[in-house]
């Protein structure tokens, strides 16, 4: 409890004791009124002053105003009736304050719980100075300095292991419980926990640029992007409160006037009491507090499972996903290519690989890397000139004075070379040297072990259309799609074609349904941002993917997509439960209040009780292990 | 120029009000108030004096929500 809450608790206890004491002290008339008024002020002065300043500053219809009017009204009624029963006004204020205190405590508590769960922030870094370890703030560690990470400590800054080997617990980042082995020369990502051995690490990034800071920043700012449900609630509250106030006013005035007109008794105080009850019931805080809390808990739960959702709005869209479009490479397949064969070559294998590896020297594409690996020798940049990348088709360059073209059959056709088609399954890189066909390299990608299961799980999670896009040859694409059970395949696409294809698919989807695009975060930023929701996989350490995507999967397991969708469904389910429950109970109680069946005590339940239940329900969104 | 401030506010609706009040303050380009993390991210207009602007922001927020706090 913070100071404010403690003061509130003291005021509540004091006024409760005073109220009980007053019941035993026989004071009457003016003295009695003054005594009760004093207790009322102890418990409610802040509400009255807030209501007053609210009116002064033009913020008339808020909760404080409702409570002030209700309780002052109840006092006025008691004076008017000469009943001397001021308990009700004080009790209403008392319970309202108890509710507010609970709300502030419960929300503060769950906020801290959620933040703690996501707390991967390292507290310190160990720097070695003259043979002894010194603890410093991670943000003071400069790039290139050597830090020591001991067993049980968090890796504070991204870096490379220069000495030692150990296992790392990456579960805070990826949700993956299997430890990862690292040794000399391996990259270390901040936020992991070192389990077994001492590691000496040379840092490669500043703390502010390290993975852990990026992730924390992302998660902390996630709930500031508001979802439609949240917008709905804030708009609702804006209309709702004035509407209820007017309703209460009408309830207090119309029936008595009508009764007078009909020649009956006005019964002003009965209707005034009902109107006041109506006001107490109507406080909208259960809704206003529980909806953002549910989203916050949902985002927290997802990040515990290794799924970073960048905002409540994305969580909401994710729950509507009916179409999932995969970019094949790096999502369903490993994106690790291997050279499987060299066919129809006019030169020996090594020479073809050497020339191709040099021509592709500037490319970061996985295919280029695999050719370089298969070549095995050192690629000498100075032997290469005039490199022209022909987007999606291949590359043309001058190597040792020879013009070397590497790429697909389209590239060959544009160069006027007739390629020899291949019967093997895989990506075919044709090579032409000085305008003469020189053979082709067969490269194939490996399907991830979980891909088939992931597709099945997606269907179970309610996705009815699974599409695969790829720049690869049609035959490769079809064989992968068939083995995984994918509905539609579009192959041999250039990066720009992928955007067009996704746009077409978006145009054809039914309203209220969303299309998710899953990419590996390399070269697909435009598509990621064009889709209703962009999911980047295996993004640990890749800044570009974290920037471009709406949902980031920390590891590269495609099963997580189905899990992410289920988490979002659960969270949205809770949001709707709370909206319907809170509005439903309020409406019923408002009706009962208007009919005179509900008294102030029920009114207090409708306000505080509903809020408590909604907050507890919201916390459920945090628990996602079993999904 | 963007800066994040720690704030103290009791309810989500009040946080919303603070956000709107801050956005209307001169020298503020954009503002997002995050109730859950109790943080306020303010983007200042070019050439604005940050501290002077924040003083006005605090005053504006106090008008809409009397017991809010911004740790400048």
Residue numbers in B near A224 (CB within 8 A): 32-34, 41
Predicted-complex ipTM score: 0.75
Top residue of A59, A67, A103, A299 to mutate, by most chain B CBs within 10 Å, is A59
Longest dimension (CA), chain B: 33
Quick one: pLDDT band at residue A321, thresholds 50, 70, 90? very high
Catalytic residues of A: 327
Residue numbers in B near A223 (CB within 8 A): 34-37
pLDDT of residue A522: 67
pLDDT of residue A346: 82
Q: Does the pLDDT of residue A274 top 90, yes or no?
A: no
Question: Angle A87-117/A610-619 helices, nearest 10 degrees?
Answer: 10
Contact between B27 and B53 under an 8 Å Cβ cutoff? The reply is: yes
Q: Which residues contact A573 (CB under 8 A, 6 or more apart)?
A: none
Interface of B with A (CB under 8 A): 10-13, 16-17, 32-39, 41, 63-64, 66-67
Contact A220 B41 (CB under 8 A): no
A104 touches B: beta carbon within 8 Å: yes
* DSSP, res A447: E
Q: Distance (Å, rounded) from C-alpha A468 to C-alpha A477? A: 8
Average pLDDT value for residue range A609-623 = 85
Q: Distance (Å, rounded) from C-alpha A548 to C-alpha A552? A: 9
Mean pLDDT, all residues of chain A: 83
pLDDT of residue A583: 85
Q: Distance (Å, rounded) from C-alpha B51 to C-alpha B43? A: 13
Contact between A219 and A308 under an 8 Å Cβ cutoff? The reply is: yes
As a dihedral over the C-alpha atoms of residue A14, residue A20, residue A22, residue A23, rounded to 10 degrees, the angle is 170
Searching chain A, which residue's CA lies closest to the CA of residue B31? A224
pLDDT of residue A61: 66
Q: Does the pLDDT of residue A172 top 90, yes or no?
A: no
Average pLDDT value for residue range A184-195 = 85
Total of domains in chain B: 1
Nearest to B13 among A100, A288, A293 (CB): A288
pLDDT of residue A467: 93
Chains A and B form CB pairs within 8 A to the count of 50
Average pLDDT value for residue range A272-294 = 77
For residue B27, give its domain range: 2-71
With tokens 């006019």, the residue in question is A346
Per-residue pLDDT of chain B (72 residues; tens, 9 = 90+): 778 888 888 777 778 788 888 999 989 998 888 777 788 888 888 888 888 899 999 999 888 877 788 887
pLDDT of residue A489: 92
Average pLDDT value for residue range A331-335 = 80
Q: With pLDDT > 70 as the criterion, what percentage of chain A qualifies?
A: 94
Q: Does the pLDDT of residue A566 top 90, yes or no?
A: yes
The tokens describing A388, both together, are: 């022209």
Nearest to A223 among B17, B36, B63 (CB): B36
Taking only the tens place, the pLDDT of each residue in A20-41 is 888 888 877 788 888 888 899 9
Nearest to B35 among A49, A59, A292 (CB): A292
The tokens describing B72, both together, are: 């400048």
Contact B34 A224 (CB under 8 A): yes
Taking only the tens place, the pLDDT of each residue in A141-156 is 888 888 999 888 888 8
Q: Distance (Å, rounded) from C-alpha A374 to C-alpha A355? A: 12
Contact B36 A62 (CB under 8 A): no
A87 touches B: beta carbon within 8 Å: no
* DSSP element (H, E) containing B8: strand B2-8
Q: Does the pLDDT of residue A541 top 60, yes or no?
A: no
Contact A224 B66 (CB under 8 A): no
pLDDT of residue A82: 74
Q: Is the pTM of this model over 0.80?
A: no
Quick one: pLDDT band at residue A5, thresholds 50, 70, 90? confident
Q: Distance (Å, rounded) from C-alpha A251 to C-alpha A282? A: 14
Taking only the tens place, the pLDDT of each residue in A351-391 is 888 888 888 888 777 778 888 888 888 888 888 888 888 77
Q: Does the pLDDT of residue A565 top 80, yes or no?
A: yes
Top residue of B10, B11, B36 to mutate, by most chain A CBs within 10 Å, is B36
Nearest to B34 among A49, A114, A223 (CB): A223
Q: Does the pLDDT of residue A573 top 80, yes or no?
A: yes
Q: Where are the alpha helices (DSSP H) in A193-348?
A: 211-222, 228-261, 268-281, 285-304, 312-319
Backbone angles phi, psi at A508, to 5 degrees: -95, -5
Of chain A residues 213-252, which have a CB less than 8 A from chain B? 220-221, 223-224, 234, 237
Taking only the tens place, the pLDDT of each residue in A448-479 is 888 999 999 999 998 999 999 987 778 888 88
Q: Distance (Å, rounded) from C-alpha A481 to C-alpha A459? A: 15
pLDDT of residue A317: 92
Contact between B4 and A221 under an 8 Å Cβ cutoff? The reply is: no
Average pLDDT value for residue range A297-303 = 85
pLDDT of residue A521: 67
Q: Please give the distance of CA A93 from its chain centroid, rounded to a whole number.
A: 38
More reliable by pLDDT, A316 or A277 = A316
pLDDT of residue A571: 93
pLDDT of residue A271: 83
- CATH number of the domain residue B52 falls in: 3.30.70.100
pLDDT of residue A83: 72
More reliable by pLDDT, A292 or A365 = A292
Taking only the tens place, the pLDDT of each residue in A122-141 is 888 888 877 788 888 888 88
Of A219, A223, A216, the closest CA to residue A294 belongs to A223
The tokens describing A160, both together, are: 């490379």
Taking only the tens place, the pLDDT of each residue in A61-119 is 667 777 888 888 888 888 887 777 788 788 888 888 887 887 778 777 777 776 666 66
Question: Is residue B13 classed exposed, middle or buried when 0-12, 13-18 and 19+ CB atoms within 10 A define those classes?
Answer: buried
- Cross-strand bridge partners of residue A396: A388, A405
Contact B10 A104 (CB under 8 A): yes
Quick one: pLDDT band at residue A543, thresholds 50, 70, 90? low
Q: Does the pLDDT of residue A57 top 80, yes or no?
A: no
Quick one: pLDDT band at residue A293, thresholds 50, 70, 90? confident
């Amino acid at each position: 409890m913070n100071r404010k809450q403690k003061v509130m608790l003291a005021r509540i206890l004091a006024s409760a004791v005073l109220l009980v004491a007053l019941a035993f002290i026989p004071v009457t008339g003016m003295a009695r009124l003054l005594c009760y008024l004093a207790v009322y002020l102890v418990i409610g002065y802040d509400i009255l002053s807030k209501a007053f300043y609210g009116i002064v500053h033009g913020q008339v219809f808020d909760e404080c105003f409702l409570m002030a009017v209700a309780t002052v009204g109840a006092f006025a009624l008691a004076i008017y009736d000469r009943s001397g029963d001021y308990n009700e006004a004080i009790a209403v204020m008392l319970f309202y304050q108890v509710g507010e205190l609970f709300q502030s405590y419960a929300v503060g508590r769950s906020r801290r719980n959620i933040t703690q769960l996501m707390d991967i922030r390292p507290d310190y870094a160990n720097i070695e100075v003259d043979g002894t370890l010194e603890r410093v703030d991670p943000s003071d560690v400069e790039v290139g300095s050597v830090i020591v990470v001991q067993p049980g400590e968090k890796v504070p800054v991204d870096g490379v292991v220069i000495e030692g080997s150990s296992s790392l617990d990456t579960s805070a980042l990826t949700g993956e419980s299997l430890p990862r082995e690292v040794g000399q020369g391996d990259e270390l990502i901040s936020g992991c926990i070192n389990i077994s051995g001492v590691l000496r690490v040379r840092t490669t990034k500043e703390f502010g640029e390290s993975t852990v800071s990026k992730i924390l920043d992302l998660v902390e700012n996630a709930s500031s992007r508001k979802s439609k449900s949240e917008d709905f609630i804030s708009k609702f509250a804006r209309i709702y409160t004035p509407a209820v106030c007017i309703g209460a006013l009408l309830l207090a005035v119309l029936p008595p006037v009508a009764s007078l007109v009909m020649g009956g008794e006005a019964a002003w105080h009965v209707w005034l009491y009902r109107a006041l009850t109506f006001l107490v019931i109507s406080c909208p805080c259960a809704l206003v507090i529980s909806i953002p809390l549910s989203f916050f808990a949902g985002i927290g739960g997802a990040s515990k499972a290794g799924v970073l959702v960048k905002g409540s709005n994305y969580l909401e869209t994710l729950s509507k996903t009916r179409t999932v479009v995969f970019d094949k490479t790096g999502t369903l397949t490993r994106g690790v290519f291997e050279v499987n064969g060299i066919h129809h070559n006019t030169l020996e294998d090594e020479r073809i690989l050497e020339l191709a590896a040099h021509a592709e020297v500037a490319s970061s594409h996985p295919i280029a890397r695999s050719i370089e690996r298969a070549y095995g020798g050192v690629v000498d940049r100075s032997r290469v000139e005039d490199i022209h990348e022909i987007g999606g088709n291949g590359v043309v360059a001058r190597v040792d004075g020879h013009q070397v073209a590497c790429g697909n059959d389209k590239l060959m056709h544009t160069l006027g070379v007739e390629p020899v088609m291949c019967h093997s399954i895989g990506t075919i890189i044709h090579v032409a040297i000085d305008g003469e066909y020189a053979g082709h390299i067969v490269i194939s990608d490996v399907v991830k072990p979980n891909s088939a299961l992931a597709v099945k799980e997606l269907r179970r999670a309610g996705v009815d259309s699974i599409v695969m896009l790829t720049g690869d040859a049609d035959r490769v694409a079809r064989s992968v799609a068939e083995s995984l059970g994918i509905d539609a395949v579009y192959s041999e696409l250039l990066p720009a074609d992928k955007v067009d294809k996704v746009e077409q698919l978006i145009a054809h989807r039914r309203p209220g349904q969303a299309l998710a695009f899953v990419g590996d975060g390399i070269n697909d930023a435009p598509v990621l941002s064009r889709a209703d929701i962009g999911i980047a996989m295996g993004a640990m350490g890749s800044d570009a993917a974290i920037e471009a995507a709406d949902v980031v999967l920390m590891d590269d397991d495609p099963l997580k997509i189905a899990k992410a969708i289920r988490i979002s469904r659960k969270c949205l389910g809770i949001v709707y439960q709370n909206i319907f429950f809170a509005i439903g109970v309020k409406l019923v109680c408002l009706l009962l209040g208007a009919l005179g069946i509900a008294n102030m005590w029920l009114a207090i339940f409708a306000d505080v009780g509903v809020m408590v239940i909604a907050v507890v329900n919201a916390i459920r969104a945090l628990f996602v292990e079993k999904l | 120029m963007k800066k994040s401030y720690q704030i103290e506010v009791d309810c989500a609706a009040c946080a919303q009000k603070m956000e709107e009040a801050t956005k209307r303050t001169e020298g503020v380009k954009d503002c997002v108030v995050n109730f859950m993390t109790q943080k306020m991210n303010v983007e200042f207009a070019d050439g604005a004096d940050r501290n002077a602007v924040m003083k006005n922001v605090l005053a504006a927020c106090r008008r809409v929500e009397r017991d809010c706090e911004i740790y400048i």
